[in-house]
Structure 1
């Protein structure tokens, strides 16, 4: 049974019962008015509690999108612009990134850079490691360069 229908049934039953028990018309005392008001308030509170309880069942949880938090250990400085270059992977794909040797030469600590941004690439000196620009940007690093 739905909440509104249930409350309407209770109220109509209460009104019908009070109609049968009334014997004659007489003025209500202050005590009688207070009792009626207290009873009506109690019915309202009970009805509201039932309605609130039923509305909780309608709640639909939406999935949350995980937000990648920046690494608290990373340095709050801009990555060096001269280390940003285009590299070629072993499969021939071209990616833009920061070379580890260049970053170390610029005295930038690479140990706090996100590991999921690392890629192996072919360099003039053989296979090297590069940190992808887009991945670093999504991780909260400023890749504009200095």
Structure 2
């Protein structure tokens, strides 16, 4: 629970307890007033305990001076299927790239490939789309045997 919510409940409990004590007349002091007092005190103790538990949990999450280590990212295979490697001849030389359609069929983590490596080249047979192999290799991907 949030501390703002718990503090507002605590303030409301104190206000209600104060109102019930102020409205009670001294002539009726008896078991009814004692029950109200015990109920209010119990409520305050429970709310105070909830606040201290909440503060204790918050202090476990962050401690000043302690190095923060983020949770590791979910692992996925950086091994790309060798059957998707294509070599295309263009007007300025040869281009090695991983074919987009082939990767969609044979590699389940295509959505995690870096966008900066996406490319398209013009060949004699038309435009080919895929991922530059040099760029992928620089990002830690490799071709599986």
Give the TM bin, normalised by the shorter chain. Answer: 0.3 to 0.5
- Structure having the higher strand fraction is 2
Q: TM-score by structure 2 length?
A: 0.42
Higher RCO structure (Cα 8 Å, ≥6 apart): 1
Q: TM-score by structure 1 length?
A: 0.41
